Amino acid sequence: MDTEIYTPLRLDEIEGSLQEEILENLGVDIETCLECGKCSGGCSNGHIFDYTPRKIVQLVKMGDEETLSGMDALWICLSCQLCLDRCPSGIDIPRILDYLREKAVKRDVRATRPNAKLFMELMLKEVRDKGRISEVPLMIRFKKKTGQYLKDAGLGFRMLLKGKLSPFPSRIQKTVGFKKLLSESASENKG
Ligand code: SF4
Ligand code: SF4
């Protein structure tokens, strides 16, 4: 975790190419970052991140893509959007992390956590096939692939008992239209 005392960026540390790329491709303007740290304070997984959300924004400003694509935070962000909710400038950090993760995967950068990439792939397959994620079928598929049948089994069972997990798969009604939307969006991204 990033425990060092916060230091603001100096102007000579700023290298704008990644910042511009993110503005152009995602429409996210990190120039408006106030360095207030509300994103880091509210981050659900900040206690185990190696770089906090505020530091991640700084690293984007510094154009330090090597550090960004090798950091653990890239693989353990929950996409919970809390940082975005709290940010006074509306900076979409989860979207930036999605984008950096996509780039890291394309460049074949290894995930810092074992099976993190596999989990992401299975989760995205759930979304593509059903339009939503059903946790129990996802976990069964993940465990079959990794052979970790008993890991977290007790926790899963307790969640089932408390009604926090549904054993039944669910899907959206209009999967055909949804898949068409996804394929249109994929072609737009290629184009
Ligand atoms: S909450 Fe927003 S403005 Fe504040 S440091 Fe984080 S990204 Fe920057
Ligand atoms: S979306 Fe990721 S970075 Fe933002 S608060 Fe959630 S876990 Fe933290």
Supply the CATH number for residue 39's domain: 1.10.1060.10
CA-based angle 99:100:101, to the nearest 5?
Answer: 90
Higher-confidence residue of 93 and 121: namely 93
Please compute, for residue 90, the number of CA atoms within 13 A of its CA located in the half-sphere on the CB side.
3
Mean pLDDT of 160-165: 90
Q: Please check whether residues 124 and 48 belong to one and the same domain.
A: no
Residues 54-98 have pLDDT tens digits of 999 999 999 999 999 999 999 999 999 999 999 999 999 999 999
- Split at pLDDT 50, 70, 90, the class of 32 is very high
**Mutate-to-test residue for ligand 2 from 84, 92, 93, 96, highest number of ligand atoms within 8 A of CB:** 93
Q: Is 81's C-beta closer than 6 angstroms to any atom of ligand 2?
A: yes
Q: Please check whether residues 91 and 42 belong to one and the same domain.
A: yes
Q: Please check whether residues 55 and 97 belong to one and the same domain.
A: yes
**pLDDT score recorded for residue 176:** 87
- 3 has pLDDT over 60: no
How many structural domains are present in the chain?
A: 2
Domain range enclosing 85: 11-106
Q: Please check whether residues 35 and 91 belong to one and the same domain.
A: yes
Q: Please check whether residues 24 and 88 belong to one and the same domain.
A: yes
The answer to whether residue 67 sits within a structural domain is yes
Q: Please check whether residues 120 and 100 belong to one and the same domain.
A: no
**pLDDT score recorded for residue 41:** 94
Q: Is 100's C-beta closer than 6 angstroms to any atom of ligand 2?
A: no
- Split at pLDDT 50, 70, 90, the class of 162 is very high
Q: Please check whether residues 15 and 80 belong to one and the same domain.
A: yes
**pLDDT score recorded for residue 9:** 74
**pLDDT score recorded for residue 81:** 96
Q: Which two tokens mark 191?
A: 């184009």
Q: Please check whether residues 86 and 121 belong to one and the same domain.
A: no
| Distance between Cα 121 and ligand 2 center (Å) | 19
Q: Which amino acid is at 174?
A: K
Q: Please check whether residues 91 and 158 belong to one and the same domain.
A: no
Coil, strand or helix at 81 = coil
Q: Please check whether residues 19 and 87 belong to one and the same domain.
A: yes
Q: Is 67's C-beta closer than 6 angstroms to any atom of ligand 2?
A: no
Which protein residue has the closest C-alpha to ligand 2 atom 1? 79
Q: Taking Cα atoms as reference points, which of 29, 11, 12 lies closest to residue 20? A: 29
